[in-house]
């Protein structure tokens, strides 16, 4: 859907079928979409952006209100996708694009139009999208006071900001691990959030368009600025984040690195403009050569900087060199993985070698396409793009055999669950190996599975299941109260350690708990928030860090109490 919608959008820009095909290929294979393969809701909300921009262009070209209504319908479908963060980013980008095309762009031989046209179109988009998504929007609005994400702290708002060092991953995807079977060794938990690689050809074409068409095409300038602004937002810079944290709705979402979605989309659009200019000789030959050389030089310089960074990291991993303070909190993990990192970042290994090979191949192909516009070069360019993106990405995720999904009755567990009365149970995937599977369990096998990953965790669930603000907990599946609230009867796990824990959990109801307020402590290291008696005679202490070393509680000590 992402590729086809982008293809239609580029066709609408009248840049040619082949260019539209390549653009669809690039957007479909952009790092922000591929990296979030496990977030089906995010993907379901993300694919609609090019179709939304298509109907905006059609409305401004025809001035027919039905085209704006179609755009509103597309935005409504994105909202129904179930990932409001992406839909919010999409809405902001589409509003900026609509305003620019209406008032500033002269791509179609005419300036945008009047304020009334802009206002009528925007009103139609808003009304139709709200009507279509009302089933979800009004339900969420009603639940706002009861959910844990009605407001998040500035610290959580800044979580998973893109480290500046990860800019190198645009050119060398495995610069900090995460590919070829090696785990990420820098901000490892967020590697998928930071995955941005979409191939050397895309960057070369985008650079060529930015240089060669800067003074020729206003829409190219718009997408350059869009990519730069989104890139700055990815970094989560403190002054900007403090200001954005005051913006309603926007301040409900964490992980600024998800603005890579707009960055990758901007690169894809710039790449198609660059490819069209290269194939159709819209620039003078002198201008093409100058822009092509400058684009190759710019991307090549950044690539060599990224390659040099990999060799410096490899030097730090080589005994007896030490990583010093370069990796900060990740120094221990880096030290443990140092022997593997040393081999992984060798110049002759795929991590470093493949990006350089594909850069040379892409640059040569673009040079040949400028000289002779032959079909063979077009085919080779598409093949090089696919292999350039696929070779590192195929090693990011495990790729298990999926044929059994089409034959659910051959699985004894699925067959057992299918034989039960579906109206009286739900299943709950409780470990990472099965957490990504819950939508497939529901959509493919039609099993009633609860959503184990959602930003809208109810405070009631948090109070009985010990969930944190991001809907995560390592103990929730042990809590009888939560299972009763959710109507869960079966837990799904692939981990023997969790299964062993579950076998030892008592099936009796939880004992009553009573709160025990903790007075102010004069120890700065102790940050307990509250304590409770989860079981008779046992005091449970809760703190933000989850660990308490020394505790002094002013209560009467008795010989039959476990401390």
Q: How far apart are CA 181 and CA 159, in angstroms?
A: 26
Q: Residue 405, Cβ neighbours under 10 Å: how many?
A: 15
Ranges of the chain whose pLDDT falls below 50: 107-112, 452-455, 511-527, 536-537, 547-554, 557, 559, 561-563
pLDDT of residue 512: 46
Phi and psi angles of residue 28, each rounded to the nearest 5 degrees, phi first: -60, -35
* Environment class of 500 (CB within 10 Å of its CB; exposed 0-12, middle 13-18, buried 19+): exposed
Instruction: Give me the pLDDT at residue 550, please.
Output: 42
Model pLDDT for residues 2-38, shown as the tens digit of each residue: 999 999 999 999 998 999 999 999 999 999 999 888 7
| pLDDT recorded at residue 434 | 62
Closest CA to 203 of 177, 172, 174, 180: 172
Q: What is the CA radius of gyration of the chain?
A: 27
> Contacts by 440-445 with C-beta closer than 8 Å and gap 24+?
440/405, 441/492, 444/405, 444/408, 445/408, 445/414, 445/417, 445/418
179 contact partners, CB below 8 Å, separation of at least 6? 173, 351, 392, 393, 395, 396
pLDDT of residue 109: 45
Question: What is the predicted pLDDT for the residue at 51?
Answer: 96
Write out pLDDT tens, residues 227-270.
999 999 999 998 999 999 999 889 888 889 999 999 999 999 99
Q: What is the pLDDT of residue 55?
A: 96
Residue 370 near residue 292, CB atoms below 8 Å: yes
pLDDT of residue 507: 55
Q: Give the strand order in the sheet containing 528-535.
A: 515-516, 528-535, 538-543
pLDDT in tens, 271-304: 999 999 988 877 788 888 898 899 999 999 999 9
Residue 276: closest CA among 319, 212, 357, 364: 212
Give the per-residue pLDDT at 464: 64
Q: How much is the pTM?
A: 0.80
Structure tokens given for 517 = 């307020």
The closest alpha carbon to 497, from 477, 469, 522, belongs to 477
pLDDT score of 466: 63
């Amino acid at each position: 859907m992402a590729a086809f919608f982008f293809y239609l959008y580029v066709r609408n820009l009248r840049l040619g079928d082949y260019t539209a095909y390549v653009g669809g290929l690039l957007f479909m294979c952009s790092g922000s979409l591929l990296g979030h393969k496990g977030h089906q809701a995010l993907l379901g909300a993300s694919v609609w952006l090019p179709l939304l921009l298509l109907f905006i262009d059609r409305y401004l070209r025809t001035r027919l209100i039905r085209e704006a209504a179609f755009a509103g319908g597309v935005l409504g479908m994105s909202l129904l996708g179930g990932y409001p963060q992406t839909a919010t980013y999409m809405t902001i980008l589409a509003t900026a694009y609509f305003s620019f095309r209406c008032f500033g762009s002269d791509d179609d031989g005419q300036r945008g139009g009047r304020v009334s046209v802009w206002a009528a179109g925007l009103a139609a988009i808003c009304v139709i999208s709200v009507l279509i998504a009302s089933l979800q929007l009004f339900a969420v609005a009603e639940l706002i006071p009861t959910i844990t994400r009605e407001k998040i702290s500035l610290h959580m708002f800044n979580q998973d900001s893109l480290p500046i060092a990860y800019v190198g991953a645009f050119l060398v995807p495995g610069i900090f691990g995460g590919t070829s079977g090696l785990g990420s060794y820098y901000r490892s938990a967020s590697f998928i959030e930071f995955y941005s690689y979409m191939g050397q050809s895309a960057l070369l074409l985008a650079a060529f368009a930015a240089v060669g068409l800067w003074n020729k095409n206003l829409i190219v300038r718009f997408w350059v600025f869009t990519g730069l602004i989104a890139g700055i937002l990815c970094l989560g810079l403190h002054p900007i984040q403090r200001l954005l944290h005051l913006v309603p709705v926007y301040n409900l979402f964490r992980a600024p690195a998800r603005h890579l979605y707009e960055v990758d989309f901007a690169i894809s659009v710039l790449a198609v403009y660059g490819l069209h200019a290269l194939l159709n000789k819209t620039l003078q030959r002198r201008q093409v050569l100058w822009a092509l050389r400058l684009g190759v030089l710019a991307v090549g310089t950044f690539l060599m900087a990224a390659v040099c960074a990999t060799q410096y990291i490899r030097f730090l991993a080589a005994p007896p060199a030490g990583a010093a303070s370069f990796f900060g909190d990740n120094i221990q993990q880096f030290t443990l993985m140092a022997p593997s990192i040393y081999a992984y970042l060798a110049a002759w290994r795929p991590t470093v070698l493949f990006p350089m090979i594909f850069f040379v191949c892409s640059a040569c192909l673009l040079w040949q396409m400028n000289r002779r516009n032959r079909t063979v070069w077009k085919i080779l360019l598409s093949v090089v793009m696919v292999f350039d993106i696929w070779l590192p990405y195929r090693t990011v995720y495990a790729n298990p055999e999926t044929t059994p999904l089409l034959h659910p009755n051959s699985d004894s567990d699925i067959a057992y669950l299918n034989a039960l009365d579906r109206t009286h149970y739900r299943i709950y995937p409780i470990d990472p190996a099965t957490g990504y599977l819950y939508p497939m369990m529901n959509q493919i096998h039609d099993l009633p599975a609860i959503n184990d990953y959602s930003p809208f965790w109810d405070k009631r669930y948090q109070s009985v299941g010990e969930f944190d603000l991001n809907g995560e907990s390592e103990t929730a599946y042990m809590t009888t109260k939560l299972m009763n609230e959710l109507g869960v009867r079966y837990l799904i796990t692939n981990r023997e350690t969790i299964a062993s824990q579950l076998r030892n959990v008592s099936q009796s109801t939880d004992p009553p708990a009573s709160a025990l307020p903790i007075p102010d402590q004069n120890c700065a290291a102790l940050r307990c928030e509250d304590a409770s008696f989860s079981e008779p005679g046992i005091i449970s202490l809760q703190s933000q860090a989850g660990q308490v070393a020394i505790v002094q509680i002013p209560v009467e000590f008795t010989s039959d109490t476990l401390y």
